[in-house]
Amino acid sequence: MASVALQQNDKRMQLLETVIGVTAAMLTSLSYIPQVRKVRTGQPTEDLSSRTLIALTSGLVLWIVYGVIKPDWIIVAANVVGASLTGYVLYHKLQERQGTAKSSMKRG
């Protein structure tokens, strides 16, 4: 009887762990959506730090590698979404910066 109760408790803890992991993954991954919307609507990205975006995207890619090594699908999935979103914003930030540099060179 005691072993059945322990098994049920283990299953509950595993479920709780999964729910917490999925919830955390969704919240952190989807937190980049406002920046993606900003970029998609053509608003300038000058208030976004390139260094921060590079560090964040790099960190997320490393989390993907870590999740693959573990193997932990929640870590992998969350960070693939996050890295895709921040990578998209970073790409457009760098494109905007190059466009600004080219136009200032033409004027100068």
Query: Domain spanning 2-107 has what CATH number?
Result: 1.20.1280.290
Domain ranges within the chain, ordered by starting residue: 2-107
- In the chain, the percentage of residues whose pLDDT exceeds 90 is 54
Task: List, for residues 43-53, the tens digit of each pLDDT value.
Answer: 888 888 899 99
Buried b (16+ CB within 10 A) or exposed e, 48-87: beeeebeebbeebbebbeebeeeeeebbbbbbbbbbebbb
pLDDT the model gives residue 105: 56
Provide the Cα torsion 68, 71, 77, 82; round to 10°.
-50
Structure pTM? 0.75
Q: Per residue in 76-100, pLDDT tens?
A: 999 999 999 999 999 999 988 887 6
d(CA 46, CA 43): 9
Q: What is the pLDDT of residue 41?
A: 92
Residue 107 pLDDT > 60: no
